Copies of this chain bind each other. A is one copy, B any other.
Amino acid sequence: MSELATPLPDFMAEKPLFMCVMSNTDTAKIPNISAAGKTPELTDYTPAGDCELIELGHIKSVPVLPFSPSGSPTPALITRSALRLSQTPAIYVNSGLRKLPSIPVVDLHATPGADIRSGQAVADVEDIFKNGQLLGEHIGKLSDFIVIGESTPGGTTTALAILRCLGMDGNTSSSISTNPMGLKMRIVNEAMEKSSIGFGDLTDDPLRAVELFGDPMMPAVAGLAEGLCNNDAKVVLAGGTQMVAVLAIIRALGIEGDISIATTKFVANDTSAHFHEMVDSLGYHAYVTDPGFYNSDIDGLLGYERGEVKEGVGAGGALLLAAMAGVGQDEILTDVESFYRQLVEEST
């Protein structure tokens, strides 16, 4: 695969928009769950750092660059290059952040998520959904094509829990190269047992599933999708198995519209997860993108090819926007490499 996006959409977007919904949870702080931050505590800063990198080109309110413990940079670098080169506008959404970025963010008044083993992972799920919908109703009158990414450390564990409550078998991907599926499954089983919820028990009540075992990003994105689709805008969820979980919620809620999913090849080709199988079984269309990192001589970027980082901050969907705007894989790679070198220089 050498193309930026496969397939390319067969329509033009007149007023494309990228949105990024950000959340923090205590689930992310369970040891060895997330590599989205050098330590579990630092995952609180990852969403803020991600969107400051995209918007400002540097971190401002966070102490360290959101690099993985292995030294691979956050996918925010991909998102930044893709949005810059395609000149796509962006709107950032705070759905339960513990650390705010120093850029304009839409506040949905969500509180950060708790540990999913606590008995209530997300407070005020209906309010978050409704605020997402309100925002979507307005944005859907301005943009005809909205790509929604997320930055939610620990999100593949909450995604796994949601998929299981909604009766979907399949592994979620991971920000860690050796996907800790065993650990994630133990955490999820413990959480579900504690609330006496079994596999498929919440198929008819997806927002209850989110309340018990999800994260605050999920109802925000589902609500956004509802509001956007009410205005006939096309919606692409940008992410890996975390967004598959949101798709499952959207389908269970009966939200109808032109909704699809876009992710990177690093997720799509991840043999430890089941991206395509799950998207197919839900009945949605998937776009797969490739920033061409195998052509790089930067080890941090080659880490993506080794599976050390796979997706996040809507990187796959941002690449789709770039591909639709006629940006080439080589332009993306050159821009990401240049930005990576600048960041490393500045931080040493």
Contacts and interface: CB of A to CB of B under 8 A. Distances in A.
Interface in A220-263: none
A107 interface: yes
Nearest to A231: B89
Interface in A88-142: 88-91, 94, 100, 102-109, 127, 131-132, 134-135, 137-139, 141-142
Given A89-B138, A89-B141, A104 B104 contact: no
A87 interface: yes
A135 B15 contact: no
Given A17-B142, A127-B102, A134-B55, A107 B94 contact: yes
B142 A104 contact: no
Nearest to A18: B138
Contacts of A89: 137-139, 141-142
Contacts of A25: none
Contacts of A104: 106-108, 131-132, 134-135
Interface of A: 15, 17, 55, 87-91, 94, 100, 102-109, 127, 131-132, 134-135, 137-139, 141-143
| 5 closest cross-chain pairs (CB), A and B | A89-B138, A89-B141, A142-B142, A104-B135, A107-B107
